Amino acid sequence: MEKWLIKSANIDFSTIGKTQNEKILYRIIANRGIDSKEGLDEFLNPNLSKLHSPESMADMEKAADILINSIEHGEKIRIVGDYDVDGIMSTYILYKFISGENPNVDYQIPHRITDGYGLNVDMVTDAIKDGVKLIITCDNGISAFDAIDLAKKNDIKVIVLDHHEPKISEDGITQITPKADAVVDPKRDDCQYPFKGLCGGAIAYKFVDYVSLILGYDEGEIVREYLEFAAIATVCDVMDLIGENRIIVYNGLKLLNNTTNLGLKTLISTAAIKDKTLDSYHLGFIIGPMFNASGRLDTATKGLELLLEENVKKAAGIALDLKNLNLERTKLTKEGLEIFIKEIEATKLYDDKVIVAYIPNIHESIAGIIAGRVKEKYNKPTIILTKSEEFAKGSARSIDEYDITKGIAFEEHLLNSFGGHKLAAGVSLPIENIETFRTNLNENSNLTEEDFYKKVYIDLGLPISFINQEFIESLKQIAPYGNGNPKPLFGSKDVKIGNMKIFGKDNNVLKVDVREGNEMKEGILFSSSFEKFQNEMERMGIDFPKLLVTGEEISADIVYQASINEWNGKKNAQLIITNFRIKEGDNNV
């Protein structure tokens, strides 16, 4: 069940727009939460000069002083990252920069399964043995209380660079941060930094930028060396692509398309996209998953080693390894998803408000991906659990209407550990507590049936006559697309869909003519949309095979993206139909 909603902006920029296309463009930008002329200018002109000064981040100056002092005294420095793309990029930025100033630096990225997330006591114990004098965490550390306490007791300085939410005290209001020498995290309540939505890689970039200026670097040098890695981290950590994130990604993509990093160039070539103009899609769905696969099925250190590699042959070998790991990850995910869907359907867990499914023999590293896919299928909060040693361990993904971490927190007495934010979490618990956990989550949930309607947010209703190449070209000013800045969605009512033809290697693409009055446009439905289209016609008793032969039309409301289709040197405007409502009673075919 779907609920279509027209976005309502807080401000009307239409008086600024001089042409029809500009008025529509500004309306779409306002739908992204831009509510001032200054914000509009920043969105349309995402120049690096509009980035905020790192100096306003709490503890930034203190962290810089500590690092510079360690560099000057040649102290042993260890960087502790995370096993996802953000963690890999953060570690690379810090290691590459610091190693240029002090060769007495190394890095450690936790193993997802054997170490778990972030800096831990065992890592600090190793650091003590290795004579480390400064630990810098990136993309983690804000919750590493015990590990940091141990480091401090042994005279190891600690700088935390993180973007996750600090822990809240028992009063439910006051933040608690670890007793590190410096804690740089924009989510701190006492941090005056204007933009709170940076990822770990962007904070590492900001830190390096600040330190480099003190050391006398040319700012352009830091941009050229590190911005593209902050951009990769931003997209792959699914940060909102507005404000500073938009500036970082917009400019980072320019650098990435001309990257001098051997490892990145080799990975891009291995992924068969070296002839493409890379955009946020390539980062989020091709390059990112290859780095992530190393952290899921092997060690994220492999992804970092690729970025640091200077030997062509070795880089090619690592890139191929990452590609193969991602293929294996894709296979495991497909098989695991099928097993979980079968279990959910057989036990009717889809009737629950919060789906909690446990299958012991699924690789725990893909639990989060499967949870996301199950959540998308049923549009319900989902927790996927598998066996990890003697416990159940897994990941949660949620819908906007349900704070999954808050729901899990009420059942803390049943758990070994948990952590996360509103829409995603990780959890570990005794296997014998799973049923009680499932029951309690559902009994304590205040979700209603309407909450499970899939929300489709439309930028505006738009007759298909507005869709032409000039209009579509104007929409490119909104890119790069991503979380918080999706491709614009338009809606048209009472159109006619006919002349249907099936295309694609796997016969999973449907090309149609879309008619609105005397206006005709080419429309296309890709795999999942096509499958839903077929299922809906079958449900309504419409003879789809007959339509393929006769070319007859059916009536529908549609939601679509506008794109340009280029074929054999010719370009034409095309509607990518994502959602539809076939009209009851209007179709007699």
For the chain, what are the domain ranges?
A: 2-8+456-582, 54-219, 348-452
CA distance 209 to 212: 5
Q: Which CATH architecture has domain 2-8+456-582?
A: Beta Barrel (2.40)
Q: Locate the DSSP E strands across 270-371.
A: 355-358
Give residue 461's pLDDT.
95
Residues in the chain: 589
Each residue's pLDDT expressed in tens, for the chain with a length of 589 residues: 889 999 988 888 878 888 999 999 999 999 999 989 899 999 999 999 999 999 999 999 999 999 999 999 999 999 999 999 999 999 999 999 999 999 999 999 998 878 888 899 999 999 999 999 999 999 999 989 999 999 999 999 999 999 988 888 888 789 999 999 999 999 999 999 999 999 999 999 999 999 999 999 987 899 999 999 999 999 999 999 999 999 999 999 999 999 999 999 999 999 999 999 999 999 999 999 999 999 888 888 999 999 999 999 999 999 999 999 999 999 999 999 999 999 999 999 999 999 999 999 999 889 999 999 999 999 999 999 999 878 999 999 999 999 998 899 889 899 998 877 788 888 999 999 999 999 999 999 999 999 999 999 999 999 999 999 999 999 999 999 999 999 999 999 999 999 999 998 889 999 999 999 999 999 999 998 999 999 999 999 999 999 999 999 999 999 999 999 988 888 899 999 999 999 876 665 5
CA distance 159 to 177: 12
Give residue 586's pLDDT.
60
Helices (H), 348-428: 367-378, 404-409
CA distance 235 to 238: 5
Give residue 439's pLDDT.
97
The class of domain 348-452 in CATH terms is: alpha beta
Give residue 296's pLDDT.
85
Closest CA to 434 of 421, 452, 416: 416
CA distance 514 to 559: 12
Tokens 């979980």, located at residue: 340
Query: Taking the model in full, what pTM does it have?
Result: 0.92
Spatial neighbors of 482 by CB under 8 A, at least 6 apart, are 235, 238, 239, 240, 241, 249, 280, 284
Give residue 11's pLDDT.
86
Q: What is the CATH number of domain 54-219?
A: 3.90.1640.30
